[in-house]
Amino acid sequence: MKLIALRVLASLLVLGFGAAHAQSWPRGTVRIVVPYPAGTEPDMLARDIGSALAKQTGKAFVVDNKPGANAIIGTDAVVKAEGDGATLLMVDRLALVTNPLLYSTLAYKWEESLKPVTDLARVSLMVGVRSGLPVKNFAELQAYAKEHPGKLNVGTGGNGHVTHIGMEMLARAHGMSYSYVPYKGVAPSVVGLASGEIDVAMAGGLALQTQAQSGRLRLLVIGAPQRAAFAPDVPTLVEAGGQADTIPSTVFALFAPSKVPDAVIKQINQAVAEVVNASPVFKTYGTRGLDVGVSQPADTLVAMKQDAVKYEKIVREAGIKIE
């Protein structure tokens, strides 16, 4: 009887320790790795999330920018981190899905090495043209591209970037062809469009809208179900006569190493949901072109698996590769 009692007590102690351990997040400083340069949308989002969580928990949250290699450098750092919930990744989930299609070798498999915590913000991409191009709407862009196959210079955020894959998806759905000009990021491609170096670019709406207001470029469509509040005169692709879901969205999401227990993932998800719903700063993101909202980890995973099937076909048929 004494032995049984001791075993029961030991089990209760273990369970109690496990519960306390799970409830202790964060136990110390939390590092949010952002595989993009400082000042970009995911960087600003990570800093605001970190600041709000710091106020809520009394713990320190720091942002660690590790840009390069289409988000692979920063992602790899998180994959190798401890499973204590002290290292998180803020990344465009589409980059995780498409990188295995673009690179012949990767040191990790996202579905085995990472666990989704939550979606955080969706950025609906827009298509713009340089002001001197004789194109005033999407139908005219489509006609011009067909009349001048391969002549339009389309700037992208880099070979294999979401804007590259997105423009290829748009082209294939609407019978267009053009020449790609890869830049080292979306921001330089927008500058190239505004200066007339290229003819067309796809980017986050706010970046393009700023240049459009100066008259340096013209916005044609937004890849969203409805028009953006900050650019109400820009029609959706469907309104402009295009096919739905042929301009991708960028979804910035939070991930943790796969070693992190599901109980801790749940706590992080709940903590993020609380600060996003309570903090007024996230209500202003709509004016910056980001639709902020949280999801359940399982829902994020399902969406990513669906995207993997969708974009595998596009990348394979277009022959997009990064060596």
- Residues 68-96: pLDDT tens digits? 888 999 999 999 999 999 999 999 999 99
The domain made up of 25-122+251-318 is a member of CATH 3.40.50.300: no
User: Do residues 127 and 193 make contact, with C-beta atoms less than 8 angstroms apart?
Assistant: no
- Residues 6-24: pLDDT tens digits? 444 444 444 443 443 445 7
Residue 205: band (very low, low, confident or very high) from pLDDT cuts 50, 70, 90 = confident
Query: How much is the average pLDDT of 216-235?
Result: 92
Residue 323: band (very low, low, confident or very high) from pLDDT cuts 50, 70, 90 = low
pLDDT at residue 199 greater than cutoff 50:
yes
Instruction: Give me 234's structure tokens.
Output: 């820009």
Query: How much is the average pLDDT of 241-248?
Result: 93
Instruction: Give me 206's structure tokens.
Output: 């706010």
- Residues 122-174: pLDDT tens digits? 999 999 999 999 999 999 999 999 999 999 999 998 888 999 999 999 999 99
What is this structure's pTM? 0.86
Measured CA to CA, the distance from residue 162 to residue 158 in angstroms comes to 9
Measured CA to CA, the distance from residue 149 to residue 153 in angstroms comes to 11
According to CATH, the superfamily of the domain at 124-222 is Periplasmic binding protein-like II (3.40.190.10)
Instruction: Give me 202's structure tokens.
Output: 């796809």
Query: How much is the average pLDDT of 205-223?
Result: 89
pLDDT of residue 19: 42
Q: Where are the domains of the chain?
A: 25-122+251-318, 124-222
Beta-carbon contacts of 201 under 8 Å, excluding residues fewer than 6 positions away, are: 127, 128, 154, 155, 156, 163, 189, 190, 192, 193, 208, 217
Query: Strand 200-204 to strand 153-156: parallel, antiparallel, or no bridges (unpaired)?
Result: parallel
Measured CA to CA, the distance from residue 203 to residue 166 in angstroms comes to 10
3-state class (DSSP) for residue 59: coil
User: Do residues 97 and 114 make contact, with C-beta atoms less than 8 angstroms apart?
Assistant: no
DSSP 100-149: HHHBS--S--HHHHEEEEEEEEEEEEEEEEETTSS--SHHHHHHHHHHST
Indicate if 124-222 has the same CATH topology as 25-122+251-318: yes
